[in-house]
Amino acid sequence: MKFITIKTWVLGAAVLLTASGCTSELDRYNQEKLGGPENFYADFIAVVNPMKSMQRGLQSDYQLYPNLSADMFSGMFSTATQFNGGKNNMTYYMMDGWNNRIIARQQDIFNYSIIIDNAAKNNYPGIDFTATFAVKKILKVITAARVSDNHGPVVYSKYETPNANGVTDFDSQQDAYNYFINDLTSAISDLEKIKNTSSTQNVEDKSTLQKADLVYQGNIAQWEKLANSLKLRFAMRMSYADPAKSKQYAEEAFASPAGLITDNADNALISVGQSELSFIIYSWGDCLIGAPLMAYMNGYNDPRLPAYAIPATDGSVQGKYIGIRQGIDLLNGKTTYGGFSQPQAKSANGDYFSATDGKLKLFTAAEAWFLKAEASLRGYAGAGDAETNYVTGVQQSFGEWGKSANVATYLANTTATEAPYVDPKNAANNINAGDTQLSTVTIAWNNTDSTERKLERIITQKWLALYPNGPEAWAEQRRTGYPILFKIRQNDSGGLISTDAMIRRIPFTTDTKNSLFNYSQALQYLGGADTGGTKLWWDKK
């Protein structure tokens, strides 16, 4: 597949979406347009429908990305399926045909953004879509950031402005992160302007956003909080690579009148209808729970465990919560390991993996409090007290999963640590007590601990709270080294990825190399070989 470029986008929505390969979203888009141009352009539907598709597109092709990559690398998920004969991403044999969906999905979402721009200009001239376009900008940042956190360099600021020869340039990851934060700051400013208008002003814009918004149903104040919380996330991601900018941006977020997502009522969850994980897990049986996640939760006697996983059905471990270690010989695949624990996500406000009312998790209150806790350790102004932030982060996570009644006992535990891992199918996969692949960090806050020990405690609990957001969990694990995860046993990378250092990024795929994206420039920005062993810009610890 050759990636489309800006010069082909003038051909129209149907051609665009077909070229980008987003079949399911194209079908939905066309279905929503049925009824003729009069219906399509009424009530700003020409903007509303592609805005919905931008949001839904974040879970399209979910199995190929992120489930068979970032989800697995995060330690939260695993599989019993012997894809490609058992030689695949999980054993560090990079699957080009899987990993190409990362940039393909970005193109789909960015193409919808251009459709919206054209619709606003051509079909609704004179209408001020300031708030709607601010939300669109936030969605583009979310999309491009996950591309960058996988590959490194990303086509972002120049996506719509190719060179004279038709080739489109990349941004370095460092530049991209600064663009992300600047765009989020701009979006906050635009949203603040519309939020403060009277009910009789910007009526069309507010109505359009209300119809198009699958996260907050048009609540502008909540979108401001999300944009500012994302700004804090990106600021902390830069903490090792650019400490000065990290501090500056984080302190801006703390001081912003937009506020942060500090209560579960403001959690950012996309209503996707059918969660793709509903059939990946329960119909296909291709996704099971990760061994590290269960080892931590079993060791901590974590009350959230029944919300995250289903007890095993296999006779050797029936009724227990047990995951599969990544990168092992799966023996006979599902026959051997298919009865281990399946993931679930039964929150206090519904089933994230529902086949009818699923949710895609973008950002929650717990993450904001853990970001504040880390910022406190680093001495950032406005971050507050590290212990208070840590405790509140755990409390918010327990609230998200309906386990608030158990949080005080959990936070008081001074002795529990990650449990050893025992594989009843193959003892060679065991992680026994005393192994350095097992963390010794406890739950209760201890002011006498070293800063590094406090950081491990914060990030370990943050990782548990991020579930089931595998991409964010993997990014933070690479940035900080926490939580400590199990290493793979079968390494099929041909020496390109270190078993001990673990996978650091996903290589660019053949589609990108053969596209009109400036791949040679991306290699220069990457600063190393285009392999899974090369660290990203922010991966400096």
Q: State percent of the chain over pLDDT 70.
A: 92
Residue 28 pLDDT class (50, 70, 90 cuts): low
The rounded percent of the chain whose pLDDT value lies above 90 is: 92
* Cβ-contact 304, 401 below 8 angstroms: yes
Q: What pairing do the DSSP bridges indicate for beta strands 268-273 and 358-363? A: antiparallel
pLDDT of 17 over the 50 cut: no
Q: How far is Cα 410 from Cα 305, in angstroms, rounded to an integer?
A: 13
Question: Among candidates 32, 57, 29, which has minimal Cα distance to 43?
Answer: 32
CB 69 within 8 A of CB 149: no
Given pLDDT bands bounded at 50, 70 and 90, which one contains residue 364? very high
pLDDT at residue 406, as a whole number? 97
Name which of 447, 245, 476, 278 is nearest 366 in CA terms. Answer: 476
Cβ–Cβ under 8 Å, residues 345 and 307: yes
Lowest mean pLDDT among 193-202, 226-235, 361-370, 396-405: 193-202
Query: Residue 41 pLDDT more than 90?
Result: no
What string of DSSP letters covers 457-493?
A: HHHHHHHHHHTT-HHHHHHHHHHH--S--PPPS---S
pLDDT of residue 204: 96
Reported as a single tens digit per residue, the pLDDT across 142-157 is 999 999 999 999 999 9
Strands 346-347 and 77-78: unpaired
Closest CA to 317 of 299, 291, 280, 292: 291
Tally of CB atoms within 10 A around 429: 18
Q: What is the largest CA-CA distance in the chain?
A: 69
| Residue at token pair 């227990």 | 320
Task: Assess whether pLDDT exceeds 60 at residue 29.
Answer: no
- Burial of 497: CB neighbours in 10 Å, binned 0-12, 13-18, 19+: buried
| Res 461 pLDDT > 90 | yes
Give the chain's domains with CATH numbers: 46-526 (1.25.40.390)
Cβ atoms of residues 521 and 162 within 8 Å: no
Tell which wins on pLDDT, 7 or 240: 240
What's residue 42's pLDDT? 75
Predicted TM-score (pTM) of the model is 0.93
373-416: per-residue pLDDT in tens? Answer: 999 999 999 999 999 999 999 999 999 999 999 999 999 999 99
Length reported for the chain: 541
What's the whole-number average pLDDT of the chain?
93
